[in-house]
Amino acid sequence: MPEIRFSQSVSARLEDGVLVVTIDNPPVNALSAHVRSGLVAALDHAASLPAIAGVILTGAGSTFIGGADIKEFGKPPVEPMLPEVIDRIESFDKPVVSAVNGAALGGGCEIVLGCHGRIAGEKASFGLPEVKLGIVPGAGGTQRLPRLIGQVAAIDLIGTGRAVKAGEAVTLGLADGIATHPVVAAIALVHECAEKPLRRTGMIRVPPTDPAAVSAAEAKVLARARGQSAPAEAVRLVKAAGELNLRQGLAEERATFLRLRDSGESAALRHVFFAERAAGKVEGLDKVSPRKIVTVAVVGTGLMGSGIAVAALTSGHRVIALEQTQEAAASGRARIAETLDRTVRSGRLTADGRDDCLARLQTTAQAADLAKADLVIEAVFDDLEVKTDLFRRLDGIVTPGAILATNTSYLDPDAIAAATADPSRVVGLHFFSPANVMRLVEVVDCTKTSPDALASVLAFVKRLGKLPVVCGVTEGFIGNRIFSAYRREAEFMLEDGALPQEIDAALEAYGFPMGIFAVNDMAGLEIAWARRKRQAATRDPAARYVEIADRLCEAGRLGRKSGRGWYAYPHGERTIDPEVTAAIEAARAAKNITPRSFTPSEIMSRLLKAMVDEGTALIAEEIAARPGDIDLVMINGYGFPPHKGGPMFAAQQSKDPVS
């Protein structure tokens, strides 16, 4: 059957009297203007020929439709707009059925909702992830989804942006069935539909729902919203679907979509989306084939090592965990098993999945067992001698093709690499704790790291489902360098007149889940104290140095686990401690500083400036490749609110980045 072309990305062929329309707009079949116009032309064609019984919509490649073309946001609108295309589909006189071959997201899912029938392929998924971009669905999603699956399930899906696979979609009533060959099944459904009145989603009444269940679903969404406005707006619109008619609901949705699309919050989240796609891309590396990493050795099974082991196991790798003694190896195994159990309890892993992970785990006290590893990640005590000694020993054990990675946070990975016979296979992999949960991994491209070692660990980190950000060698890498810089600024402000609780409150009001002093208490103050002592001899005596943290540490206030730090924790509750206030006042008096007051906005401006100055220095030193990488590190490793886009983005957007 000859192909009929409707636009550069939309074509069709006639099969069994049905027009099978394929959208082919790589990489994700986004709904660019030529896709929308092509779809309308295809419908016109089907309407004009009585011999055509109906229409099927499907996608080329592995995606059905990835959503509206986000790159078109902010550009002048081009007709036809998506809501009109979907209205046309829904009101079409002949059956229109979607054959969902892959992800149907955002506007793609809204097209599916507008169809008269929906067949899911085995790899199909459905989702309205707009809230993750700071917007709400803008082409009927909030009005049609509750008509199909009810308000409670719609609030969950639209409010969180989570996607569902084919099976759950059928259970929810979002898809009519699953088929190995969705186009074939969809053709059959078109013929079936032609025999009876078409089921138009917009005409279905929203099923009556228990108001308590709606409130509970709403509360769940709002609890995760973390200061973002889109989730609450999405819930409001889904609730409105029960009260307004379709036209009114669609108008309200569209107005909300347009308002949010032009908001700073959405611009920030779109920046994060594209920054994530750019992260981990290194010029010239796309031509390098990564080495196959099947077996991962983890040296050290403390909190960090066991977390890394769990991340590797749950992403399908074999893991060999090495400890110094048989007893330590046994407790390492127990720690990994316990973390896997917790993952099962949280619903992120099935019991079978856990058993499968444990079957792929070998714990040992024999270093020689590491010979089978494709990648060794050390997570031992952060001491240069311990690490260099280990890497030297590994040289004689692993194969020449194996990659060696250090998880150091502060040591110089080049010095560790220099201890090995082949430094080109050494990289840094700086995981964040807990490593099985935190997405960020700073991938340290050491001075002698080879392109294929780098490409291989980047592919490995992506396979873990994590976000790799490449950085060069510098003390503390990207994140800890920025953290140190803004911690220093926070301590300057303490000396100048602010209190820890005021600085923390300003950070929390800005959107950080926790202020910097509370974070320091949680992490423990002793590591930074040890570093300050190490650096004391080389510190510029003319540089400003705040001694308050040293005084607290000397008084045994090492943070939350010692019961006292920047705050006191009498019954586990964080409380302001007059002793800390007194220590701060004493430090000011010792330097003859007259304290002054700070507004929350001034506190935030100073902290953001410190972050941005350090970020700018990291780019100038070529430690970080792009500002977006710095933003991702701060968002994913240090609690920077994603809807502010990261410090570099916030600074660029406005002269007053605090607003």
Under the binding rule (CB under 6 A), the answer on residue 148 touching ligand 3H9 is no
Q: Of the listed pieces 61-69, 304-312, 342-350, 404-412, which binds ligand 3H9 according to CB under 6 A? A: 61-69
Among 99, 124, 139, 608, binds ligand 3H9 (CB under 6 A): 139
CB 261 to ligand 3H9: min, Å: 8
User: How far is residue 19's CA from residue 17's CA, in Å, rounded to a whole number?
Assistant: 7
Which of residues 82 and 558 has its CB atom nearest to ligand 3H9 in the complex?
Answer: 82
Q: Of the listed pieces 127-135, 187-195, 381-389, 508-516, which binds ligand 3H9 according to CB under 6 A? A: 127-135
Tokens of 182: 């969705």
Longest dimension (CA), the chain: 92
Q: Of the listed pieces 42-50, 130-138, 412-420, 423-431, which binds ligand 3H9 according to CB under 6 A? A: 130-138
Tokens of 568: 């006191």
Question: Which of these, 272, 263, 231, lies nearest to 647 by C-alpha position?
Answer: 272
Under the binding rule (CB under 6 A), the answer on residue 396 touching ligand 3H9 is no
253 is catalytic: no
Among 10, 30, 111, 189, binds ligand 3H9 (CB under 6 A): 30
DSSP 456-467: HHHHHHHHTT-E
Size of the site for ligand 3H9 (CB under 6 A): 25
Under the binding rule (CB under 6 A), the answer on residue 82 touching ligand 3H9 is yes
Under the binding rule (CB under 6 A), the answer on residue 68 touching ligand 3H9 is yes
Under the binding rule (CB under 6 A), the answer on residue 134 touching ligand 3H9 is no
The stretches of 150-245 forming alpha helices (DSSP H) are 151-160, 166-172, 182-193, 211-223, 230-240
Which of residues 83 and 95 has its CB atom nearest to ligand 3H9 in the complex?
Answer: 83
Under the binding rule (CB under 6 A), the answer on residue 66 touching ligand 3H9 is yes
Identify residue 217 by its one-letter amino acid code.
Answer: A
Active-site residue identified among 480, 495, 502, 520: 480
Under the binding rule (CB under 6 A), the answer on residue 637 touching ligand 3H9 is no
Which of residues 82 and 311 has its CB atom nearest to ligand 3H9 in the complex?
Answer: 82
CB 624 to ligand 3H9: min, Å: 18
Among 137, 332, 559, 639, binds ligand 3H9 (CB under 6 A): 137
Q: 592 — phi, psi (to 5°)?
A: 55, 40
| Residue linked to tokens 């010979």 | 371
Among 38, 54, 67, 628, binds ligand 3H9 (CB under 6 A): 67
Q: Of the listed pieces 135-143, 175-183, 298-306, 546-554, which binds ligand 3H9 according to CB under 6 A? A: 135-143
Question: Which of these, 58, 111, 96, 113, lies nearest to 194 by C-alpha position?
Answer: 96
Active-site residue identified among 442, 489, 502, 614: 442
Under the binding rule (CB under 6 A), the answer on residue 141 touching ligand 3H9 is yes
Among 27, 401, 556, 570, binds ligand 3H9 (CB under 6 A): 27
User: How far is residue 162's CA from residue 128's CA, in Å, rounded to a whole number?
Assistant: 7
Under the binding rule (CB under 6 A), the answer on residue 103 touching ligand 3H9 is yes
Under the binding rule (CB under 6 A), the answer on residue 159 touching ligand 3H9 is no
The stretches of 279-409 forming alpha helices (DSSP H) are 303-314, 326-345, 351-359, 384-395
Helix 211-223 to helix 151-160 angle (10° resolution) is: 10
CB 247 to ligand 3H9: min, Å: 17
Helix, coil or strand: residue 94: coil
Under the binding rule (CB under 6 A), the answer on residue 63 touching ligand 3H9 is yes
Residues 463/436, Cβ–Cβ less than 8 Å: no
Q: Of the listed pieces 101-109, 164-172, 552-560, 643-651, which binds ligand 3H9 according to CB under 6 A? A: 101-109
Under the binding rule (CB under 6 A), the answer on residue 138 touching ligand 3H9 is yes
Under the binding rule (CB under 6 A), the answer on residue 133 touching ligand 3H9 is yes
Compute, in degrees rounded to 10, the torsion defined by CA atoms 395, 397, 403, 409: -70
Which of residues 68 and 632 has its CB atom nearest to ligand 3H9 in the complex?
Answer: 68
Burial of 535 from C-beta contacts in 10 A (0-12 / 13-18 / 19+) = exposed
Among 23, 54, 69, 480, binds ligand 3H9 (CB under 6 A): 69
Which of residues 137 and 428 has its CB atom nearest to ligand 3H9 in the complex?
Answer: 137
| Residue linked to tokens 């785990």 | 361
Under the binding rule (CB under 6 A), the answer on residue 499 touching ligand 3H9 is no
Question: Which of these, 363, 154, 349, 178, lies nearest to 240 by C-alpha position?
Answer: 154
E strand or H helix that includes residue 253:
helix 246-261
Binding mask 565-604 for ligand 3H9 (x = CB under 6 A): ----------------------------------------
User: How far is residue 159's CA from residue 162's CA, in Å, rounded to a whole number?
Assistant: 8
Under the binding rule (CB under 6 A), the answer on residue 110 touching ligand 3H9 is yes
User: How far is residue 634's CA from residue 636's CA, in Å, rounded to a whole number?
Assistant: 6
Active-site residue identified among 116, 271, 317, 430: 430
For CA atoms 463, 468, 472, 473, the dihedral sign is: negative
The stretches of 262-299 forming alpha helices (DSSP H) are 264-278
Tokens of 214: 């709606």
Tokens of 118: 């929906």
Identify residue 555 by its one-letter amino acid code.
Answer: A
245 is catalytic: no
CB 209 to ligand 3H9: min, Å: 23
User: How far is residue 575's CA from residue 583's CA, in Å, rounded to a whole number?
Assistant: 16
Under the binding rule (CB under 6 A), the answer on residue 231 touching ligand 3H9 is no
Active-site residue identified among 101, 266, 409, 636: 409
Binding mask 275-304 for ligand 3H9 (x = CB under 6 A): --x---------------------------
442 is catalytic: yes
Under the binding rule (CB under 6 A), the answer on residue 89 touching ligand 3H9 is no
Which of residues 4 and 70 has its CB atom nearest to ligand 3H9 in the complex?
Answer: 70
Q: Of the listed pieces 27-35, 206-214, 414-422, 553-561, which binds ligand 3H9 according to CB under 6 A? A: 27-35
Residues 476/486, Cβ–Cβ less than 8 Å: no
Give the pairing of strands 96-100 and 117-121.
parallel
Helix, coil or strand: residue 410: coil
Tokens of 619: 């780019």
Residues 116/193, Cβ–Cβ less than 8 Å: yes
Which of residues 103 and 553 has its CB atom nearest to ligand 3H9 in the complex?
Answer: 103
Please count the residues of the chain: 659
Tokens of 64: 């059905």
Question: Which of these, 284, 270, 186, 268, lies nearest to 227 by C-alpha position?
Answer: 268
Distances (CA, A) of 359 to 328, 353, 354, 483: 19, 10, 9, 39
Among 107, 202, 637, 642, binds ligand 3H9 (CB under 6 A): 107
Under the binding rule (CB under 6 A), the answer on residue 465 touching ligand 3H9 is no
For CA atoms 23, 25, 26, 32, the dihedral sign is: negative
Which of residues 70 and 568 has its CB atom nearest to ligand 3H9 in the complex?
Answer: 70
Which of residues 127 and 639 has its CB atom nearest to ligand 3H9 in the complex?
Answer: 127
Under the binding rule (CB under 6 A), the answer on residue 328 touching ligand 3H9 is no
Name the site residues for ligand 3H9 (rule: CB under 6 A).
27-28, 30, 63, 66-71, 82, 103, 105-107, 110, 129-130, 133, 137-139, 141, 274, 277
Catalytic residues: 409, 430, 442, 480
